A and B are shown apart, each in its own frame.
Chain A
Amino acid sequence: MLELRAVTAGYDRRTPVLRDVDLTVADGEAVGLLGPSGCGKSTLARVAALLHRPDAGEVRLAGTPVPGFRHRAPRALRTTVGVVFQQPRQAADPRLTLRDLIAEPLRATGRAAEVADRLAELAPTVGLGGDLLTRGPHEVSDGQLQRACVARALVLRPRLLICDEMTAMLDASTTAALVGVVEDYRAATGAALLAVGHDRVLLDRWCDRVTHLASGSSARA
């Protein structure tokens, strides 16, 4: 599903945060990527989500070599991946209601007609009932906003989900609930997962296998 070969990436070419990293996630597989803060695991998640262009190396997604990143990534590849980040407040446009936040990827890909159906399916799945969908990010808790961000990541039915520290801000119950949402989705669709985090206990429980990204060095996984 996802293959990173000899990927070097960072924000300054002289001091890359990732050096020569290999990582494979098979179809349907759930891989946990564990590492201390500052080891580059979030950069790796961004590369895998086609949001950050590596300085060197190859990324293959669903068997296709990725020809470009960010806005240069072909839409068909971009929509293959759903991403959830650690900080829902930084990831969410504060002007949108939760409903529009979740629906935005559909609208951006010319599928506005599906919004009503998809929302009717997803809102109960992530536990957003009542008037929560009509509220803005500042009118809900971190946990509620992260539920919306998970729904948004699922809205295009991605074949690969990337969860970068998805639960680091959340309490134990919300964590278990959102991991449950992701796992139900994977069970129903066979989607693969790359879960990036720092909590070994959580990743061991969640993923098929867990690999370690050491600080400033390379990972072979």
Chain B
Amino acid sequence: MSAPLLTVADLSVRFRMSGGRTVAAVRDVSFTLAAGQCLALVGESGCGKSVLASALLGLLPGNAQVRGAVHTDGRELLAADEDVLAREVRGRRIGLIPQSPAGHLTPVRTVRSQLAETVRELTGVRGSGLPDAVAAAAARAAFPSDHLDRYPHELSGGLAQRAATALALVGDAPLLIADEPTTGLDRELVDRTVDELRRHADDGRGLLVITHDLSAAARIADRVAVMYAGRVVELADAKGFFGSPGPRHPYAAGLLAALPEREFTPIPGMPPELDALPEGCAFAPRCGRASAACARRPELTDGLACHHALDPAHA
């Protein structure tokens, strides 16, 4: 296997808050992503998954403290300065498909004008070659050419998503990060958006999808990382995770069981506050399998951070 496109090693992000509070949003997260592969990072809102995406792109606010290392293309990103990230990484090495495309597009400019600017900036194409390059950029994200002269507010949610995706693809970045790409879309549109994203992985890109939508994750991902309270608690092959043998971490199992097509029963309680995490396993107060051993923090070993993991194969 070739070297991974993206290597995240022991990434931690803390925020210093007023009153001396510290919020540990991401803790000791490690994973790799290969070309042609899609990794879905799933978890509930506030579990740290969006902070993680911002950290990879160098888009954290000033009160963030970052530890660890992120490598792509022989370059370490966490230590890189903003200038390098803006000129050489964002858009060129890593394309971001944002959470709310409408908010990411400039409201007062047509899709064509925004695409043209990005094409000029990232590919250097200008003059007579520009119209064709813009048309090609739109086509790559299946954005209809007869909608290019529309303004963002004249687009449906699905088309706004495609416009944002087209922008993210212009620089032909080998790595794409999609942050909650399906929020607010109806199910048919979710399926279509997810299938279109999947195509970019099949074209050889690495695709990191951050989502709380488990059905979308099941549809798109090769691998799935489940985050809870800032940590990855299970990292598994998506097929086995969503199908058979199923999840092994009690939190992951609870999350899947909560789906309306499964038991539709919630996990009791709520996730812990990130400024007051327990010493041991952060899931212990909600976990039916917790024991005294869980007062010691379980490390992620062989894709699992739990002292009493489920053994679905022998259940």
Interface bracket on A: 20 to 34
User: Looking across the interface, which residue of chain A has its beta carbon closest to that of B262?
Assistant: A172
* A205 contacts B260, C-beta separation under 8 Å: yes
List 20 additional A-B contacts (Cβ < 8 Å) besides A169-B212, A205-B264: A36-B189, A86-B184, A127-B270, A165-B184, A168-B184, A169-B183, A170-B44, A171-B258, A172-B256, A172-B258, A173-B44, A176-B259, A176-B260, A176-B264, A176-B266, A177-B266, A180-B266, A198-B185, A199-B187, A205-B261
- Complex Cα–Cα for A143 and B266 (A): 13
**Is residue A51 contacting chain B, with contact meaning CB distance below 8 A?**
no
Query: Which residues from 259 to 275 on chain B have a C-beta closer than 8 Å to any C-beta of chain A?
Result: 259-261, 264-267, 269-271
Q: Restricting to B18-64, which residues have a CB under 8 Å from any CB of A?
A: 43-46
Report Cα–Cα, A198/B188, bound state, in Å.
9
Give complex CA distance A206, B184 in Å. Answer: 19
24 sampled A-B residue pairs with Cβ under 8 A: A37-B156, A37-B185, A86-B184, A142-B46, A143-B44, A165-B184, A171-B43, A171-B258, A172-B214, A172-B258, A173-B254, A174-B266, A175-B260, A176-B265, A180-B266, A198-B186, A198-B187, A199-B186, A201-B259, A201-B260, A204-B260, A205-B260, A205-B261, A206-B260
| Closest chain B residue to A86, Cβ basis | B184
A44 to chain B, nearest CB (A): 15
A144 contacts the other chain (Cβ, under 8 Å)?
yes
A174 partner residues in chain B, CB cutoff 8 A: 44, 266
Assembled-state Cα–Cα distance A143/B187 (Å): 21
Number of A-B contacts (CB under 8 A): 86
Chain B contacts for A205, CB-based, 8 A = 260-261, 264
A37 and B184 contacting across the interface, CB-CB below 8 Å: yes
* A63 CB → nearest B CB, Å: 33
In A134-178, the 8 Å CB interface with B consists of 141-144, 165, 168-177
- A171-221 contacts to B, CB under 8 A, are 171-177, 179-180, 198-202, 204-206
Does B255 count as interface, using CB distance less than 8 angstroms? yes
Q: Which residue of B lies closest to A198 (CB)?
A: B186
- Chain A hits for B206, CB < 8 A: none
In the bound complex, residues from chain B placing their C-beta under 8 Å from that of A180 are: 266
Which A residues form the contact surface with B (CB < 8 A)? 35-38, 86, 127, 141-144, 165, 168-177, 179-180, 198-202, 204-206
Q: A77–B130 Cα gap in the complex (Å)?
A: 59
Query: Does B157 interact with chain A (Cβ within 8 Å)?
Result: yes
Q: Within the assembled complex, what's the spacing in Å between the Cα atoms of A117 and B22?
A: 35
* Cβ-closest chain B residue relative to A39: B186
B residues in contact (CB < 8 Å) with A:
43-46, 156-158, 183-189, 212, 214, 254-256, 258-261, 264-267, 269-271
Residue numbers in B under 8 Å from A86 (CB-CB): 184
Name the residue among B254, B264, B269, B270 with the largest chain A CB count within 10 angstroms.
Answer: B270
A200 to B186, CA, bound (A): 9
Q: How far is the CB of A10 from chain B (nearest CB, A)?
A: 16
Say yes or no: B259 contacts A172, CB within 8 Å. yes
Q: Are B260 and A38 in contact, CB atoms less than 8 angstroms apart?
A: no
Q: Chain B: which residue is nearest A142 at the CB level?
A: B45
Instruction: Give A178's nearest chain B residue, CB to CB.
Output: B266
Closest to A167 in B: B260
- Known A-B contacts A37-B157, A169-B183, A171-B255; A141 and B46 likewise in contact (beta carbons under 8 Å): yes
Q: Collect the chain A residues with CB atoms within 8 Å of residue B259's CB.
A: 172, 176, 201
Q: Which residues of B contact A202 (CB under 8 A)?
A: 260
Q: Which residues on the A side are within 8 Å of B158 (C-beta)?
A: 37
Report B175 CB to chain A, min CB distance, Å. Answer: 25
Please, how many angstroms separate the alpha-carbon atoms of A141 and B50 in the complex? 13
Q: Which residue of chain A has its CB nearest to the CB of B211?
A: A171
Chain B residues with CB below 8 A from A127, complex form: 269-270
A143 and B260 contact, Cβ closer than 8 Å, known pairs A36-B186, A86-B184 = no
Q: Could you tell me the distance in whole angstroms from the C-beta of B128 to the nearest C-beta in chain A?
A: 37
With a cutoff of 8 Å between Cβ atoms, the chain A residues found around residue B45 in the complex are: 141-143, 169-171
A205 to B258, CA, bound (A): 12
Complex: A187 Cα to B46 Cα, angstroms: 31
Q: Which residue of B lies closest to A203 (CB)?
A: B260
The chain B residue with its CB closest to the CB of A145 is B45
Give the CA-CA distance A206 to B256 in the complex, in Å.
17
- Knowing A37-B157, A205-B264, the reply to whether A143 touches B46 (Cβ < 8 A) is yes
On chain B, the residues within 8 Å of A173 by CB distance are 44, 254-255, 258, 266-267
Enumerate chain B residues within 8 angstroms of A35, measured Cβ to Cβ.
186
Name the residue of chain A whose CB is nearest to the CB of B46. A141
- Expressed in whole angstroms, the minimum distance between the Cβ of B79 and any Cβ of chain A is 31
Query: CB-nearest residue of chain A relative to B273?
Result: A130
Are B156 and A38 neighbours in the complex by a CB distance under 8 Å? yes
| Alpha-carbon separation in the docked complex, A37 to B214 (Å) | 20
Cβ distance B288 to chain A, nearest Cβ, rounded Å: 14
